[in-house]
Amino acid sequence: MKPPGDLLRLDYQPVSRLLRQARDGAPSALGGVCFFHPVIPVEAAGLPLLSVDMALLEGEEALCEVWYSQGVLESGCHNGIRYREGETLLLGCLTRNEAAEVTPLGACAPLQAATQAAYEAVFELLESRGFKAVLRFWNYFPGVNRVSHNLERYHQFNIGRQNAFLSHGRSVIDNVPAACALGSTDGGLQVAFLAARAEPVGIENPRQISAYHYPDQYGPRSPTFSRASLVNLGGRDLLFISGTASIVGHQTLHAGDVRAQTRECLHNIAAVVAEANRRTPGAGFQLGNLAYKVYIRYREDVVSVRQELIQFIGAPVSAVFLRADVCRADLLVEIEASGGHALPPLLKSGAGP
């Protein structure tokens, strides 16, 4: 396996350090997502950044997940999307206030309309910039499990997202982007995405039914995401693993048991990594060489989740823990990961707090 190059690098920065970097030019930053609770808007001129209201569960008060690239990068703004692009990669983000969404009386839920409009704007931008495919979407909005308009808000989101894929002639099965969709504490619909000119491959998990084929008990439209996306950029294989939960087949397992759910998430991630390695001989992805982001429904579960993660993967692990609502009410934890790019420094992973 080639050592990760400078084509893509992930780092977690305290806000003050990011702002200092941005003031000094930060030519290699593509942008990213800052997590706080309560939320504080972060403005770094030219840098696409989301400020998401999610509490960090250990260490810092606030952290920014920042993606870096190389070469000449240029920033722009299009249809409410802030973006920054280079030769190979484009990172963009947007926030939509669903309360301001104009929907005819009795028509679809505002979140559905906001989601469709957001995704259509993303696809328009990508078409205009010559970036074919999205590698990864990060979706955050409040009240994921709340019902309005006779529908859980996560299901409203799924309808709007799928409509946008269809209206732009994009497939809603097979090579769809990797993604996650988590409940923030407050704010609008917030979407960040990483796109490439090259076509990625969607990876599925043999232990799970593809999400885009979920039966309709999980909502009128299936979620449009693949379990992971894999792309070769500049001779390097990059892997983006979607939010991964304690789901086998299409069913939630271990309701009420956060430790067992964490282990099931990790078995699923291990299966996705094995599948990615099978599809790309020589890539050699390993659980110990990924950067993890862990979303936990109840903050007091962080100690258990962290212990299970370290037991499964071995210390030290690069992991960040956030308080978030997961998109099925019975899911207590969701874990995402990525690899093949340069990783943040390994976080302290001793006996735990």
| Catalytic (active-site) positions | 334
- Residue closer to ligand 3EB (CB basis): 113 or 176: 176
181 binds ligand 3EB (CB under 6 A): yes
- Please list, in sequence order, all residues whose beta carbon lies within 8 angstroms of the beta carbon of residue 222, skipping any fewer than 6 positions away: 158, 162, 172, 211, 212, 213, 214
The CB-of-179 to ligand 3EB minimum distance in angstroms stands at 4
272 binds ligand 3EB (CB under 6 A): no
List beta partners, residue 78: 81
Residue of the chain from 116, 156, 226, 242 that contacts ligand 3EB (CB under 6 A):
242
Q: Which residue, 165 or 225, has its beta carbon nearer to ligand 3EB? A: 225
Q: Are 33 and 95 in contact (CB under 8 A)?
A: no
Q: Of 49 and 241, which CB lies nearer to ligand 3EB in the complex structure? A: 241
User: Quick one: 209 or 303, whose CB is closer to ligand 3EB?
Assistant: 209
| Minimal distance, residue 122 CB to ligand 3EB, in Å | 14
Asked if 179 touches ligand 3EB (CB under 6 A), the answer is yes
CA dist., res. 152 & res. 24, Å (int):
44
Q: Which stretch binds ligand 3EB (CB under 6 A): 145-153, 237-245, 257-265, 286-294?
A: 237-245
Packed helices 258-279 and 302-313: angle between N→C axes, nearest 10 degrees: 40
For residue 177, state whether it binds ligand 3EB (rule: CB under 6 A): no
Residue 15 engages ligand 3EB in binding (rule: CB under 6 A): no
Q: Report residue 119 as tokens.
A: 């995704």
Among the listed residues 113, 211, 241, 294, the single contact to ligand 3EB using CB under 6 A: 211
β-bridge partners, 342? 9
Tokens of 101: 């969404």
Q: How far is the CB of 316 from ligand 3EB (least distance, A)?
A: 26
**Closer CB to ligand 3EB, 240 or 321, in the complex:** 240
Q: Is 180 in the site for ligand 3EB (CB under 6 A)?
A: yes
CB 258, min distance to ligand 3EB, A: 15
Task: By CB under 6 A, tell whether 243 contacts ligand 3EB.
Answer: yes
Instruction: Kindly state whether residue 94 participates in binding ligand 3EB, applying the rule CB under 6 A.
Output: no
Please report whether residue 247 would count as binding ligand 3EB according to CB under 6 A. Answer: yes
* Residue 22 φ then ψ, to 5°: -65, -40
Of 276, 154, 184, give the one whose Cα is nearest residue 226: 276
Residue numbers 214-233 binding ligand 3EB by CB under 6 A: 223, 225
Cα–Cα dist 32/91, whole Å: 8
Q: Which residues between 308 and 327 bind ligand 3EB (CB under 6 A)? A: 327
CB of 326 to ligand 3EB, least distance (A): 7
CB of 119 to ligand 3EB, least distance (A): 11
Our finding on whether 51 is near ligand 3EB (CB under 6 A) is no
- Among 192, 245, 266, 309, interactor with ligand 3EB by CB under 6 A: 245
Cβ–Cβ < 8 Å for 10, 73: no
In the complex with ligand 3EB, the residue whose CB is nearer, 69 or 139, is 139
The contact set with ligand 3EB (CB under 6 A) reads: 139, 179-181, 211, 223, 225, 242-243, 245, 247, 327
